């Protein structure tokens, strides 16, 4: 099993700092990038994104929202059950980290699309972030097994960061409908710099309640391997206050050199190494979600791929 991964978030400044966002982060379970340049330190912990000092960067023009094509949506959300079951939790080219369980915490509940109180999943990330880019793939896939998506948009991570232009999606206009779960998202920053070229342009602001969850749970107390300096990482996922993810569950390098259409088109191919990493993460996340839903829907939660993930995570 891969080591825990996380990514670093820094809250929006009241005044833009006199520097451009620099390359930052660390590949899952292998390296950390420290501020002021890129200093590689071998560690056995988390994927960390930090806004660090860096050289001047040209501000690209803001891109307009581009909805995901119907073909890609179909490939992303109707993956055959045989693919999930064949892959299970076997990822030959990329280590994959499951969500971390937390205990004795109050349930996080919200109204679903029908108004019923159900477990809530909170996602906090940013469009520039390559680790968020990698994580959105399996998160979208896992949640599609419990409900339906609309409003997803095409996105790529910031071109000037590590793993530039990682193909992904954005949640900025996304809507999720499920009778089992509620899903809340915050994309804090765009994938381009503000007009001054000193910081990523602000996109969505988290609520005080969302910031409180981040401040409480995205900490070494709950995320194994996280240091105090690495707290409040993105992408951050809170599954009903019962399971947590702080960072990419697999390295964004897994997606390097592939287009969004190529990745999506291979999701029905269980022999694809990229598909194996994405589906392994999706199975792990599905197992955590099944714990929240009391194993509903049964055909998903009792499937062999999800049961393999549950066993590896110690879920009973």
**Residue 88: is its pLDDT beyond 60?**
yes
**H/E segment holding residue 216:** helix 208-217
Q: Are strands 182-187 and 117-125 parallel, antiparallel or unpaired?
A: parallel
* CA distances from residue 121 to 13, 210, 276 in whole angstroms, order as listed: 26, 11, 24
Across the chain, mean pLDDT equals 84
* Domain tally, the chain: 1
**Residue 35: is its pLDDT beyond 60?**
no
The predicted model gives 157-181 an average pLDDT of 97
Residue 26: inside a domain, yes or no? no
The predicted model gives 64-75 an average pLDDT of 97
The CB density around residue 40, as the number of other CB atoms within 10 Å, is 12
pLDDT score for 33 = 25
pLDDT score for 151 = 98
- As a whole number of angstroms, the distance between CA 279 and CA 142 comes to 8
Residue-number span of the structural domain to which 291 is assigned? 31-52+66-313
Residue 5: inside a domain, yes or no? no
pLDDT (tens digit per residue) in 171-184: 999 999 999 999 99
Q: Is 240 left (phi over 0), alpha (psi -120 to 50) or beta?
A: left
Residue 6: inside a domain, yes or no? no
pLDDT tier, 49 (very low <50, low <70, confident <90, very high otherwise): very low
Residue 309: inside a domain, yes or no? yes
Give the burial string for 69-90 (b: 16+ CB within 10 Å, else e). Answer: eeebbebbbebeeebbbbbbbe
pLDDT score for 25 = 32
Residue 79: inside a domain, yes or no? yes
Residue 119: inside a domain, yes or no? yes
Residue 18: inside a domain, yes or no? no
pLDDT tier, 56 (very low <50, low <70, confident <90, very high otherwise): very low
Q: Which residue has the higher pLDDT, 266 or 8?
A: 266
pLDDT (tens digit per residue) in 187-222: 999 999 999 998 899 999 999 999 999 999 999 999
Residue 240: inside a domain, yes or no? yes
**Residue 14: is its pLDDT beyond 80?**
no
**Residue 36: is its pLDDT beyond 80?**
no
Candidates 296, 278, 260; CA nearest to 69 is 260
**H/E segment holding residue 118:** strand 117-125
């Amino acid at each position: 099993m891969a080591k825990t991964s996380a990514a670093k978030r820094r809250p929006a400044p009241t005044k833009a700092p006199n520097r451009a966002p620099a390359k930052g982060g660390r590949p899952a379970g292998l390296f950390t990038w420290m501020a002021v340049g890129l200093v590689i330190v071998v560690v056995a912990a988390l994927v960390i994104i930090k806004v660090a000092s860096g050289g001047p960067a040209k501000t690209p023009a803001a891109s307009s929202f581009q909805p995901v094509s119907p073909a890609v949506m179909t490939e992303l959300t109707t993956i055959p059950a045989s693919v999930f079951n064949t892959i299970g939790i076997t990822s030959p080219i990329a280590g994959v980290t499951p969500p971390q369980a937390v205990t004795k915490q109050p349930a996080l509940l919200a109204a679903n699309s029908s108004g019923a109180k159900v477990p809530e999943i909170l996602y906090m990330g940013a469009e520039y972030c390559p680790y968020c880019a990698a994580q959105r793939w399996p998160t979208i896939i896992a949640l599609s097994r419990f409900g339906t998506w609309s409003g997803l948009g095409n996105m790529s991570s910031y071109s000037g960061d590590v793993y530039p232009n990682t193909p992904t999606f954005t949640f900025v206009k996304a809507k999720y409908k499920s009778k089992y779960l509620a899903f809340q998202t915050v994309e804090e920053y765009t994938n381009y710099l503000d007009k001054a070229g000193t910081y990523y342009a602000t996109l969505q602001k988290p609520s005080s309640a969302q910031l409180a969850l981040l401040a409480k749970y995205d900490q070494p107390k709950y995320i194994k391997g996280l240091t105090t300096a690495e707290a409040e990482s993105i992408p951050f996922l809170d599954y009903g206050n019962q399971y947590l993810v702080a960072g990419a569950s697999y390295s964004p390098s897994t997606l390097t050199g592939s287009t969004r259409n190529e990745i999506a088109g291979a999701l029905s191919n269980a022999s694809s190494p990229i598909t194996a990493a994405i589906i392994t993460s999706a199975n792990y996340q599905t197992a955590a979600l099944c714990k929240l839903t009391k194993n509903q829907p049964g055909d998903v939660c009792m499937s062999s791929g999800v049961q393999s993930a549950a066993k590896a995570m110690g879920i009973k």
